Structure 1
Amino acid sequence: MQNKKYASQGHYVAPLEETPVAAIDKLDESQKARSTWADAWESMRRRPTFWISAVLIFIIAVVALFPGLFTSVAPNSNCLLANSNGSPEAGHPFGFTRQGCDVYSRVLFGTQASVTVGLLATALVTLVGIVIGSLAGFYGGFLDALVSRVGDIFFAIPTVLGAIVLMSVLPDRTPITVALVLAIFAWPQVARIMRGAVLSAKNSDYVMASIALGVSKFKILLRHVIPNAIAPVIVIATVSLGTFIVAESTLSFLGIGLPPSVMSWGNDIGQARTSVRTSPQTLLYPAAALSLTVLSFLMLGDVVRDALDPKARARR
């Protein structure tokens, strides 16, 4: 009787177009899937810090490439002892050095050497770190153990201290030489970061699928693992550029970096320390240029880190 009762009852099924299930489950195929870099750019462009640092870095790059556009005074000409430690005047807004040279002109032309060393050192460290870290993390075994032990040896030597020792015995001191010396002692940090990122990426599903399809390991490393593991390295490279500029200035300040004939902020700061009490402007302006440049790259690195690392952004 009970079954007959339920059988006599009608069943109501709502029309499909009246239910929201189809709209919820339907994928929006009109928009293309965005990559990690597209998401990072979308995040960075909304940050005022990114635009401030980008504008400052652009100005610094233009000054480094074309310093003659901003002054008509040659940095090493018209150096008169009569203007020694002179105060600012028309055409010389920053005053004069102890040798009577224009401080404003030297600050502008010194940008080239300091930024060049920072860029070269960052490029070398990033390239070496990516190659060594990728091979060690992906292939493992004896290569990984060897790279780790060699990296530990270099980690035990402070970068600036190692550069001081090595630069003191080198006869030729050029921006390329300084960049190479800094890269020799700074590559393990990037290599270790890249190794860890590769270890995480090589166990991903797309890597396993590529192996199942018979793709060679080296092609998998180049096409899939490195592009998906390089984000942390880009962050550390952005921050390291400012660090290498400071390292070059430190070496030049100590007299074992770039020779005095090469204009750099470190050389100018080192030469100004003897007259800082009577003429503080000779130290103030190159130090301010150095600080502003380093701050710009640190600000950019902070924004890039937040954009490429959602966990870091969530912690803020």
Structure 2
Amino acid sequence: MPDVTKTAVENADPMATTAADAAAVVDPKAEKARSLWGDAWSDLRRNPYFVVSAVLILLLLVIAAFPGLFTSASPTYGDLRNHYLSKPQYGHVFSPEWLGYDGQGRSVYARMIYGTRASIEVGVCVTILVTLLGGLVGMIAGYFGGIVDSILSRITDVFFAIPFLLGTMVVLNSFTDRTVWVVVGALAFLGWTQITRVMRGSVITIKQADYVHAAKALGANTSRILLRHILPNAVAPVIVVATIALGGYISAEATLSYLGLGLPSTVVSWGQDISGGAAQIRTAQYIMLYPSIMLSITVLAFIMLGDAVRNALDPKLR
């Protein structure tokens, strides 16, 4: 009696067998190819620098939003009679006397906590403004080219030639009432040029892509091409530069406050505390030390985050 199974296998269509095997191996619902952002997020999650910087920044944001969770002391109340230049009490962790008191009897720890809000607020707001302004100017200059590019590029060069801190000091010196928003505006007024250059170069490269030419051939208008095709593909280097620059803006605000040209005395600032501690550096170094450490950690966290994002978004560094 012939073997029915063997005969059926031998008489089977080899093409059908191959197709069946391929269908069994390839899942029609297989995961789609990841985009640049998907690959970047996958790399970032495995990058220890990104994890450490993200945790630090998240903690700083929580401190800035809810300083009362970390201290019950007032950063502006001073008791000269009992707390004039009192030494730190390191055994009383997170208490008002933990890091000592300054020359006005104010808690150094409380001022360090409340100073986070001003620095983060200034840094984030300036970064948003320079990214929007610089990105818009750079995108217009890079896409249209010609006379538009020449005019915008020369204007950018003029602002770029002005020393950043010196120009900001001149602008702030013209205001008698310097609020947080005045400082933000002064920093953004001269800080958009680098973003413009990066965006312009990125747009010039992207607009030569085939999908941009295809969109033009299909009759897409300029705004649709810029917003749907060019901007999503050109924004990656801008995000990297803006993230790294955020730490620089925080440092610039502290420098201006140290020189007395930044935030007003009614706003708690690390730069003002560092300036006040400089007068007592021989007898009470801790007044200047702890705000300086907090400022350094904040700037370092944003620089580390920017480096991690750059490595993840740059295919050459993979």
Identify whether the pair has TM-score above 0.5, normalized to the shorter chain. yes
Counterpart of 1:205, as a letter, is D
Tell me the CA shift for residue 28 of structure 1.
Answer: 6.8
Counterpart of 1:50, as a letter, is F
d(CA) in 1 for partners of 2:81 and 2:16?
A: 90
Alignment of 1:273 onto 2:278: yes
d(CA) in 1 for partners of 2:26 and 2:149?
A: 43
d(CA) in 2 for partners of 1:231 and 1:179?
A: 24
Could you tell me which residue of structure 1 aligns to residue 142 of structure 2? 137
In structure 1, runs of 5+ residues without a counterpart are: 1-14
Could you tell me which residue of structure 2 aligns to residue 33 of structure 1? 33
Counterpart of 2:147, as a letter, is F
The 8 Å contact of residues 50 and 303 in structure 1, kept in 2 or not, is answered as yes
Could you tell me which residue of structure 2 aligns to residue 11 of structure 1? none
The 8 Å contact of residues 122 and 237 in structure 1, kept in 2 or not, is answered as yes
d(CA) in 2 for partners of 1:183 and 1:169?
A: 16
Tell me the CA shift for residue 115 of structure 1.
Answer: 0.8
Could you tell me which residue of structure 1 aligns to residue 7 of structure 2? none
**Count of residues paired in the alignment:** 297
Residues 1-316 of structure 1: pairs in structure 2 closer than 5 A: 29=28, 30-89=30-89, 90=92, 91=95, 92-311=97-316, 313-314=317-318
The 8 Å contact of residues 78 and 104 in structure 2, kept in 1 or not, is answered as no
d(CA) in 2 for partners of 1:240 and 1:94?
A: 30
The 8 Å contact of residues 122 and 253 in structure 2, kept in 1 or not, is answered as yes
In structure 2, runs of 5+ residues without a counterpart are: 1-13
Counterpart of 2:271, as a letter, is G
Post-superposition Cα deviations, 1:221-274, rounded to whole Å, max 9, x if no partner, equal 111001100000000111011000000000000011111221010010011100
Post-superposition Cα deviations, 1:66-103, rounded to whole Å, max 9, x if no partner, equal 00111111111243244221102343100000111100
Counterpart of 2:73, as a letter, is V
d(CA) in 2 for partners of 1:130 and 1:281?
A: 42
d(CA) in 2 for partners of 1:226 and 1:198?
A: 8
Post-superposition Cα deviations, 1:169-208, rounded to whole Å, max 9, x if no partner, equal 1122111111111111110110110000000111101001
The 8 Å contact of residues 79 and 102 in structure 1, kept in 2 or not, is answered as no
Counterpart of 2:268, as a letter, is M
Could you tell me which residue of structure 2 aligns to residue 8 of structure 1? none
d(CA) in 2 for partners of 1:249 and 1:77?
A: 22
Tell me the CA shift for residue 16 of structure 1.
Answer: 5.5
Describe the shift of the 1:233–1:28 C-alpha distance in structure 2 as closer, same or farther (beyond 3 A): farther
d(CA) in 1 for partners of 2:223 and 2:299?
A: 37
Tell me the CA shift for residue 105 of structure 1.
Answer: 0.2
Percent of residue pairs bearing the same amino acid type: 49
d(CA) in 1 for partners of 2:100 and 2:195?
A: 42
d(CA) in 1 for partners of 2:294 and 2:300?
A: 10
Counterpart of 1:72, as a letter, is S
The runs of at least 4 aligned residues of structure 1 exceeding 6 Å deviation read 17-20
Tell me the CA shift for residue 140 of structure 1.
Answer: 1.2
Counterpart of 1:95, as a letter, is G
d(CA) in 1 for partners of 2:151 and 2:177?
A: 32
Could you tell me which residue of structure 2 aligns to residue 9 of structure 1? none
d(CA) in 2 for partners of 1:81 and 1:261?
A: 22
d(CA) in 2 for partners of 1:43 and 1:81?
A: 56
d(CA) in 2 for partners of 1:272 and 1:174?
A: 23
d(CA) in 1 for partners of 2:250 and 2:79?
A: 27
Counterpart of 2:221, as a letter, is S
d(CA) in 2 for partners of 1:95 and 1:31?
A: 57
Counterpart of 1:58, as a letter, is L
Of 80-89 and 150-159, more deviation after overlay is shown by 80-89
Structure 1 length-normalised TM: 0.90
Q: Report the secondary structure of 1:282's partner residue.
A: helix
